[in-house]
Amino acid sequence: MLLWGVLATALIVGAGGTARAQLPGQAQQATKVGVVNIGVLFTKYEKATIFKKELEGELMPLKADAEKIKDNMKKHQDWLEVNVKKPSEAVQVEKSQKALRDGQRMLEDLDASARKLIGKKQETQLIQLYREIHNAVTTYAQQNGFHMILAYGDPPDQDQFTFQNINRKMGGMDIGAAVPYYWQGGLDISNEVLVRLNASYRPSGISTLSQPNNLPVQPAGFKK
């Protein structure tokens, strides 16, 4: 029964946004719970965008090599579909099949090179971004009376009711994860935190409110 009481309290907090807890000798206090879309912050935080462009720039030569290899493999594949069963083309068939095997190995080598090139840098950048986002969420929550912020990860500016997105959410629920399902207007702090992150990153004098990527966020579950 004690366990059920704990679970029931958790459900009340998650569903209604507030729950009241009172200890002996203390005044009754409302618990304020909010949500934040990590997908918005990692996608629209301008430092994250810069980091992504840096990584893409470093990978560009490898991607160009990969495209050349794929184009060559496609030519051999297209030729084989027409000529593979012709006895007169047996020699070329063998050469084309070898070219496909070699091309696949070269693609695997390029993939390994790409991981080695950006792996550590990507790890360092992720840790830095996560720390900055965590600090921004914590600061905003403390300044605005939130006792708990639940994070979720919806892709921004996309239909939240596609099969792929619903299936992803259901998969999280199936493994026991708590996925925010409904919240009242004003409890999603994604846009407010994003504005602060970009304001702290941009040079002074540039208004964050005039930028298109800071339009109000309306994720799934938002109700006025």
Residue boundaries of the structural domains of the chain: 2-45+133-223, 50-121
Instruction: Give Dmax (Cα) for the chain.
Output: 95
Output the CA torsion sign for 82, 85, 90, 96. positive
Banded model confidence at residue 24, pLDDT cuts 50, 70, 90: low
Q: Give the pLDDT score at 179.
A: 87
Q: Give the pLDDT score at 13.
A: 39
Task: List pLDDT tens digits, range 100-112.
Answer: 999 999 999 999 9
Helix (H, G, I), strand (E, B) or coil at 32: strand
Q: Which pTM does this prediction carry?
A: 0.67
Banded model confidence at residue 67, pLDDT cuts 50, 70, 90: very high
Q: Which DSSP string do the residues of 46-65 spell out, in sequence order?
A: HHHHHHHHHHHHHHHHHHHH
80 contacts 74 by C-beta, under 8 angstroms: no
- What mean pLDDT is predicted for residues 37-64? 94
Q: Does the structure show a pLDDT above 70 at 216? A: no
Output the CA torsion sign for 163, 169, 172, 173. negative
Q: Does the structure show a pLDDT above 70 at 144? A: yes
Banded model confidence at residue 22, pLDDT cuts 50, 70, 90: low
Q: Does the structure show a pLDDT above 90 at 221? A: no
- What mean pLDDT is predicted for residues 187-210? 78
Q: Does the structure show a pLDDT above 70 at 211? A: no
Task: List pLDDT tens digits, range 152-167.
Answer: 988 888 888 999 989 9
C-alpha–C-alpha distance, residues 198 and 100, integer Å: 47
Q: Give the pLDDT score at 155.
A: 85
Helix (H, G, I), strand (E, B) or coil at 80: helix
Using only C-alpha atoms, the chain has a radius of gyration, in whole angstroms, of 26
